[in-house]
Amino acid sequence: MPRIAFVGAGSMVFAKTLVGDLLSFPELADSEIVLMDVDEHRLEQTARVARAMVDNGDVGATIEATTDRREALEGADYVLNMINVGGTEPFENEIRIPEKYGVEQAIGDTLGPGGIFRGLRTIPTMLGIAADMEELCPDALLLNYTNPMAICCGAIHEATDVETVGLCHSVPHTAEAIADYLGVAQEELDYWVAGINHMAWFLTLEHDGEDLYPRLREAMADDEIYERDTVRFEMLKHFGAFVTESSHHMSEYVPYFRTDPDTIEAMTGTDYAGRMETATYLEGWKERSDDRDGALADVDTEDIGIERSEEYASRMIHSLETDTTRRLNLNVSNRTDAISNLPDDACVEVPCLVDGTGVHPCSVGDLPTELAALDRTNVNVQQLAIQGAVENDRNAVHRAVKLDPLTAAELSLGEIHEMTEELLEANAAYLPELD
């Protein structure tokens, strides 16, 4: 049975979900699962619930818990990464300092000043994990869930030999949303999706051979449906394809929606589009963080069963272990030439065939010119952020922020430079030494 290490298992609810996913497959139910986190209190809560799943499900898995990363990685076959480096203070700095300058982020975990600085404080730890893996489990596969996905995975691709894929649930969640808008069962949708993480595109969308895009445009004309996903419907209207990340996320990656309060208000609708206001996510995250220490403390372990979620990790491991072929949208290096009109060193999100022989990115060819152009604006920022982190290059960090589409739409070059210096100073304790 495989040895599966969870790094960042103090992300308790998510770790619990992934453990349940693994145990739901009979072929994986005897796995050796090692939970690791630097926070012993949260780690013990995750371990307590995981052991209850094993006992209640009468499966043969073993659950270990350790605060020693090297101990967890020793001999691992798979490493699931879900770390959060720094906690609340830098996250708040990454939202509030740009807000002071007029850069109104909604989430700040993927691109923009927030995503860049989150990447800077996360990559050193990621590279440490990779270095340990190269020594202790060189044949293991790293499955990354930590954002900013493309920046973190890109750094591992650039600086290490560790086989790495990034896993994100935005594709199935978007398929679920589209199915709801159209009144079609999600499992009956056929689609082909490619691009970059949080900005991949439904290149085809069908049901029983019927192109669903005309129906989706008709649905967009319904005010109630439109208000549920304002930004994504605007992108569909103007660029011809539906994108894989929710409206409040997507509004940060382009210069069109967040440069004045009236536009933000106009785009603030219902559902996820109701989260368009600056720092709404931050305040919710802080509240959840305050509750996190007790997230599983009061759970009655007698009632904990094994359930399977929509997350990809368990399906991927099951395919690799049992030679069961699946197609999953994964984040991989574009050195496989999966998307021919994006840079070779970009981290792309494309359909991949997974079976007992490994992970095989599909060849997508060229994205439509306008979609590739939108993705490139984000890839440019990602590449410079990676350079800044891997090479300790302060100028690269500055240039990454200056090329960010939203920031550049709001501020002058001098203002961006000043803002970046303030972010560097405020978060110095969490960042690598930059030259």
pLDDT band at 297 (very low <50, low <70, confident <90, very high): low
Q: Give me the pLDDT at residue 12, please.
A: 80
pLDDT in tens, 369-379: 999 999 999 99
Helix then strand then coil, in percent of the chain rounded to 5, is 50, 15, 30
User: Annotated catalytic residue: which of 41, 157, 169, 238?
Assistant: 169
Whole-Å CA distances, 384 to 155, 335, 434: 11, 18, 13
Q: Give me the pLDDT at residue 282, please.
A: 75
394-403 and 369-390 helices, crossing angle to 10°: 160
pLDDT band at 13 (very low <50, low <70, confident <90, very high): confident
Q: Average pLDDT, stretch 317-345?
A: 97
Whether residue 302 lies inside any domain: the answer is: no
Q: Give me the pLDDT at residue 293, please.
A: 57
Q: Rounded CA gap, 256 and 406, in Å?
A: 8
pLDDT in tens, 42-86: 999 999 999 999 999 999 999 999 999 999 999 999 999 999 999
Whether residue 330 lies inside any domain: the answer is: no
Q: Is the pLDDT of residue 268 over 90?
A: yes
CB atoms within 10 A of CB 261: 11
Q: Average pLDDT, stretch 6-22?
A: 92
Q: Average pLDDT, stretch 313-323?
A: 98
Residue 254 — φ and ψ, nearest 5°?
A: -135, 165
Provide CB contacts within 8 A for 49, sequence distance 6+. 12, 16, 19, 296, 299, 301, 304
Q: Which helix (H) or strand (E) holds 147?
A: none
Which tokens belong to 74? 């020793």
Domain around 145:
3-167
- Least-confidence region, from 37-46, 231-240, 255-264, 279-288: 279-288
Q: Give me the pLDDT at residue 288, please.
A: 64
Whether residue 390 lies inside any domain: the answer is: no
Number of domains in the chain: 1
Whether residue 123 lies inside any domain: the answer is: yes
Provide CB contacts within 8 A for 152, sequence distance 6+. 119, 122, 123, 126, 144, 146, 166
Whether residue 201 lies inside any domain: the answer is: no
Q: Rounded CA gap, 290 and 304, in Å?
A: 24
Provide CB contacts within 8 A for 259, sequence distance 6+. 104, 406, 409, 410
Whether residue 10 lies inside any domain: the answer is: yes
Kindly report the pTM of this predicted structure. 0.95
pLDDT in tens, 118-138: 999 999 999 999 999 999 999
Q: Rounded CA gap, 103 and 172, in Å?
A: 30
Q: Is the pLDDT of residue 156 over 80?
A: yes
Whether residue 71 lies inside any domain: the answer is: yes
Strand duo 210-211 + 199-207: pairing: antiparallel
Q: Is the dihedral of CA 176, 178, 179, 180 positive or negative?
A: positive
Letter for the amino acid at 277?
E
Q: Give me the pLDDT at residue 65, please.
A: 97
Active site residue 173: no
Q: Rounded CA gap, 22 and 55, in Å?
A: 14
Q: Give me the pLDDT at residue 289, please.
A: 64
Do 341 and 372 touch, CB atoms closer than 8 A? yes
Do 313 and 167 touch, CB atoms closer than 8 A? yes
Which tokens belong to 71? 């101990």
Q: Give me the pLDDT at residue 95, please.
A: 95
pLDDT in tens, 191-220: 999 999 999 999 999 999 999 999 999 999
CATH number of the domain enclosing 15: 3.40.50.720
The closest of 112, 117, 113, 198 to 150, measured between CA atoms, is 198
- Least-confidence region, from 11-25, 126-140, 408-422: 11-25
Q: What is the mean pLDDT of the chain?
A: 94
Q: Give me the pLDDT at residue 211, please.
A: 98
Q: Rounded CA gap, 5 and 73, in Å?
A: 6
